[in-house]
Structure 1
Amino acid sequence: MTDRLLVCGLGSGMDHSLTELRSPRRELVVATDRPTDRARAAADVLLAVDPNDAVAVLAELSAAGIDRIDGVFSLGADNPPVISTLARRFGCPGLPLETALDCTLKDRRLRILRAAGLDLPRFATAESVGEAVRAAADIGLPVVLKPSDQTGSLGVLKAESADQVRALAQEALRLSPGGRIVVEEFLEGTEHTLAAFMADGELHRFGFADREYGHKERFAPHFFEGGDTLPSRLTAEQIEEVTETVRRGAAALRLDPAVVNTDILRTHDGRVVLLEITCRLTGARIATEVMRLATGVDPLPNVVRLALGRPLDLEELRPRHGRAVVQRFLPADGGVVEWAGDPRDVARRTGVHDVFWGLDLRPGTVVPPYRGGAEVLAGVIAHAEDLQGAEAIAERTLNALPLRFKAGTQ
C-alpha cells in the first residue's frame, strides 16, 4: 500500500527538500502557509493553510477528501503540538500532546529541565510588566525577555535597565498569545546547534554546528544570528559533553522516539547550558543541506521512518566525509528596493551551494527595520576545504548580490 505522508509546515527555505520526499511508494500531502512553486511541484496534494492551526489543517484535509494519513511531520516548522494532534487524530506514530507542549512552551520546558538537574540560566515567568520588573531585579540585569509561547527569536529582547525591562516586557507580552513571558539571566559564550534522533534512551547525533553571533547585538535590544558554521570550533571532548547534556534534556522531556533540535550555549567558564530543545527537524536548511554538505548525512529517510513508526537506520547517520560549510545571512533592515536581480547569477561561483533572497524583492518593495524573528534579506551556503575559505566565498558572494536600494532608504 502507498504510504500517505503529511508534511505540515515548512520552515524558511525548507521547500528545497520536498522533492527528495517524493517516491512512487508514497503520496505527499503538504500543508503550508508558504505555497511556493517548489511546494506546488513536489506535492501530490497542496493545502494552503496555517500549519500552526490544527483545526484549520483538519478542515482542509477533510475538504480535500483525505481521511487517512500514515505519517506526519514538519520540515523545520516549530509546531510540535499540531503534529502531535494530527498524529493522534489519524492514529499514526507521534509523541503525546503533553510532551509536545512541554518542549514548545518555554516556561514548562524550563521547569522540567530544572527539576532534572540541567544547568539553566536563572529564570522566572511573568504575566504583567510589574512581575517582569520584580523578576529582573531578583535575577539581576541584564536579562532576556521571551514570550513563553512564541517560536524562534520573535519577541526575544535584551533589557539592561529597569526602564528597559518595563518597555520591553510590554512588547514581549503583546507578542505572547497566552500573555506570559520568561525572564532569563543573560549569559555569554559560544552558541551551537545539535541535531539528533533519540531512540530507546540513546541520542544519535547527526549534525553539530556553531551558531554565528559575531554581530549578535547589532540590532539591540533584538538579537541577530548571522548563520551557521561546520565543523565546530569546539574540541571533540567538548562536543561529547554537549551531546550528553542534550541526551539528558531529551530524556527529561520524554522525547523518545523523536528527532531532536537544540540550541546550546557554552559559557566562557565551561558551563553547558541548554537554551532550547524541541522535537522537530532543524530548520533554515541547516539539517537538510548545511549539515549534509559538511558530513554527507541525509536525515530525511530517518525522519520518514520515524513518522511511519519504523526502525531508524543508524548506519545512515554516520558521517561520509568532512568539509567546511557555512551559511551566512544578511539582515533585512529597512529601505525601499530600487532594483533586484536574480541571485543565481552569483551562484555559479566555485564553492557556492546556493544563494537566495529571504524576502520577495522587487522594485518598490519596502523592507521593514530589523525587529528580530524576521526573514533575512538574503543568504548564502558556501563550502571549501577549510573554514577560512568557506567564509571568504560566502562574504564575496553576499557582497556581489544584484540588489540596489533607493538612495537614502538604507
Structure 2
Amino acid sequence: MHILMIECNPNGIAGIADALALGHDVTFVSADPDFYLGASPLAEAAFAHDRCDVIKSTEAFSIDELERLAKEINAQKPVHGVMTYSEYHTVHAASVARSLGLPGMSVEGALNARHKHRTRLTLEKTDVRQPRFVSVADPKDMAAAVHKIGFPCVVKPSDGTASLHVLLLRDDQELTDYLAELAKVDDYGRGVTRIPEIVVEEFVEGELVSVEACVLQSGEIVNLGITDRNLSGFPYFIEMGLTYFRGHPLQDELFAMNEKVLKGLGVDFGFIHAEYILAEGGPVLCEVNGRLTGGIVPQLMELSSGVNAYLEVIRQALGEKPELPVPGDVIAGGHWFGSPVDGEIVSIGFDKLQGTPGFVEALAYAKPGRTVSRLSKSNFDWLGHLIYTGKDRDEATGRVRAALDDIDFNLSVKVAR
C-alpha cells in the first residue's frame, strides 16, 4: 500500500519506519526534511529506504498547492492513505484525503479542532464547560479583551502547539511584553505561517488531563484512556510528566464529556487527543487536537496495551479498522527534563538508571557541545526524557520522578564577573 505522509513530528518518524518495515511505500512531503534529520535518530535510515520518497516542497503549507502535489503523486503511484502526526497539518491531511476520495476527518471538523478560537466558538452555546473567553484577531483589541476577562488570564495563539507562546498574564505590563514578543512570530518553522487569532481566556485552576480517543470510520467514538499531565514553569505552561492509564475517579464524566466535544466539533475520524482541566466544579475543556497524542505518550500506550498506536493511525488511514491501545495491567509513566540554567552541555548520562525497577528508557535529545537555555518557556526546552512502568499510576509516577535525581547532567556555565 502507498501512504502519503504530510509532515510529521520527531517521534512520529517511528511510524514511518514501522510502515516501511511492514512493506508499505511512503511518500513524505515536507517543507524542511532536514528538520527531522536533526530531531529524530530514525529519520536518516527511513528517508534513505528504497520504498520511501521524500519530497521537499516549500509551498506545502498552502492547501491548494498541497492538493495539486498530492494529485500529481497519486497519478504517478496511486495513494491508498493520507495521514499526518503533526498538529500543524491536520487540516492539510483532511483536505488532501477529501480531494483524493480517501478516508479522513471532515475538513470542517479538522478546522474546528485545529484552531482554538473555532473550538471555543463552536461549543459556546452547548453544555460543554469552557473557560470564559474572547477571540481577538487584531492586537489592538487585546487590552480590551484581557480587561473583559480580568487578571490573571491565559493568552494563546489560536493555532499554536506544544505550549509555545501560551502565557499566564498577571498585569498590563506582561500583556505589553507578550504582544511585543508575539509580533516577532510570523511562522512556526517548516513553512507554517501563524494566523492572527489569539484566544484570551480566564485562568482555570486544576489538574490537567487528556482523554485519548479514536473515532472509527463508522463514526463511533471510542475513549481509550486518560493521560495525566503535570505542568511546571508558570507563567508558562510546560508539560513535564505524565502517565497513561484507566481508572481515574472522573473517568466516566470525562469520557461522556469527550463524546459531546467531538460530536459538537464534527470530529468524525481518527485518533484524537483532547485536554481537560479538572476544576472545582467539574472538567473544563482546555483544547482538542485532531491527531494522535504526541511526545512520548504513544510509547506509554504501547507499553501498557501492547498496541503500536503509530501503526494503527496508518492502518485506519488505509481504511482498515484499527486495533485500539486501551491501557492494560501495566501502567507506563514518563518525565521530561531540561536545564536549570543557560549553558553548554558537557555530558548527559543515565548509568545509574540501568536495571532499576520498571526502567524502560532514558533518552537525551541534545549532544555534548550544544548550547541550551534554561527550561522556562515551552516544551521545546526539553533536553530528554525517562520512561518507567509500574503496577499502577502511583508506582510508575514515583519511579520516574525518583530517577530524575540520578541523571548525570554536566553543564558548562559562564559566570559573570
- Would you say same fold, with TM above 0.5? yes
Alignment of structure 1 residues 165-204 onto 2, 5 Å:
165-175=175-185, 177-199=194-216, 200-204=218-222
One-letter amino acid of the structure 2 residue matched with residue 227 of structure 1: G
- TM-score, scaled relative to structure 1: 0.85
Q: Tell me if the contact between 1:246 and 1:262 (Cα under 8 Å) persists in the aligned partners.
A: yes
Q: Which residue of 2 aligns with 1:13?
A: 11
Q: Which residue of 1 aligns with 2:271?
A: 259
> Of the candidates 10, 34, 37, which is equivalent to residue 36 of structure 2?
34
- 2:329 & 2:390 partners in 1: Cα distance? 10
Name the SS for the 1:178 alignment partner. Answer: coil
> Of the candidates 226, 229, 239, which is equivalent to residue 225 of structure 1?
239
Q: Which residue of 2 aligns with 1:381?
A: 387
Q: Which residue of 1 aligns with 2:189?
A: none
Residues 51-97 of structure 1 deviation map (CA, whole Å, 9 limit, x = unaligned): 75654797599699955321121235442112123323433222233
**Deviation for aligned residue 1:247:** 0.8
* 1:368 and 2:373 correspond: yes
Q: Tell me if the contact between 2:91 and 2:110 (Cα under 8 Å) persists in the aligned partners.
A: yes
**Deviation for aligned residue 1:245:** 0.9
Percentage of pairs with the same residue: 21
Distance 1:130 1:163, change over 3 A: farther
One-letter amino acid of the structure 2 residue matched with residue 226 of structure 1: M
- 1:64 & 1:231 partners in 2: Cα distance? 40
Distance 1:52 1:261, change over 3 A: farther
- 2:333 & 2:85 partners in 1: Cα distance? 20
**Deviation for aligned residue 1:333:** 5.2
Distance 1:291 1:338, change over 3 A: closer
- 1:10 & 1:94 partners in 2: Cα distance? 16
**Deviation for aligned residue 1:192:** 0.8
Name the SS for the 1:150 alignment partner. Answer: coil
**Deviation for aligned residue 1:272:** 1.5
**Deviation for aligned residue 1:107:** 0.9
* 1:131 and 2:141 correspond: yes
One-letter amino acid of the structure 2 residue matched with residue 368 of structure 1: S
Q: Which residue of 2 aligns with 1:324?
A: 331
- 2:36 & 2:167 partners in 1: Cα distance? 27
One-letter amino acid of the structure 2 residue matched with residue 187 of structure 1: V
- 1:367 & 1:99 partners in 2: Cα distance? 38
- 1:320 & 1:149 partners in 2: Cα distance? 30
Q: Which residue of 2 aligns with 1:109?
A: 119
Name the SS for the 2:159 alignment partner. Answer: coil
Name the SS for the 1:356 alignment partner. Answer: strand
Distance 1:196 1:25, change over 3 A: same
**Deviation for aligned residue 1:184:** 0.6
Q: Which residue of 1 aligns with 2:361?
A: 354
Q: Tell me if the contact between 2:343 and 2:411 (Cα under 8 Å) persists in the aligned partners.
A: yes
Name the SS for the 1:317 alignment partner. Answer: coil
- 1:390 & 1:152 partners in 2: Cα distance? 24
- TM-score, scaled relative to structure 2: 0.84
- 2:290 & 2:52 partners in 1: Cα distance? 25
One-letter amino acid of the structure 2 residue matched with residue 212 of structure 1: N
Q: Which residue of 1 aligns with 2:292?
A: 281
* 1:81 and 2:83 correspond: no
Q: Which residue of 1 aligns with 2:227?
A: 209
**Deviation for aligned residue 1:329:** 0.8
- 1:73 & 1:230 partners in 2: Cα distance? 24
Residues 98-154 of structure 1 deviation map (CA, whole Å, 9 limit, x = unaligned): 332221111111100113332110000223444111112111211101111222311
- 1:189 & 1:343 partners in 2: Cα distance? 33
**Deviation for aligned residue 1:285:** 2.5
Gaps of 5+ in 1: none
* 1:164 and 2:174 correspond: yes
- 2:17 & 2:351 partners in 1: Cα distance? 20
Deviates more, 1:29-38 or 1:108-117: 29-38
One-letter amino acid of the structure 2 residue matched with residue 19 of structure 1: A
- 1:28 & 1:392 partners in 2: Cα distance? 40
Q: Indicate the RMSD between aligned Cα atoms, in angstroms.
A: 3.1
One-letter amino acid of the structure 1 residue matched with residue 161 of structure 2: T
Alignment of structure 1 residues 36-55 onto 2, 5 Å:
36-42=40-46, 43=49, 44-47=51-54, 49=56, 52=61, 55=65
Residues 198-228 of structure 1 deviation map (CA, whole Å, 9 limit, x = unaligned): 2344321223111112xx3x3x331121121
Name the SS for the 1:261 alignment partner. Answer: strand
**Deviation for aligned residue 1:368:** 2.5
Name the SS for the 2:124 alignment partner. Answer: helix
Gaps of 5+ in 2: 187-193
Q: Tell me if the contact between 1:173 and 1:179 (Cα under 8 Å) persists in the aligned partners.
A: no
Q: Tell me if the contact between 2:345 and 2:412 (Cα under 8 Å) persists in the aligned partners.
A: yes
- 2:18 & 2:28 partners in 1: Cα distance? 13
Q: Which residue of 1 aligns with 2:280?
A: 268
Name the SS for the 1:225 alignment partner. Answer: strand
Name the SS for the 2:275 alignment partner. Answer: strand
Q: Tell me if the contact between 2:345 and 2:371 (Cα under 8 Å) persists in the aligned partners.
A: no
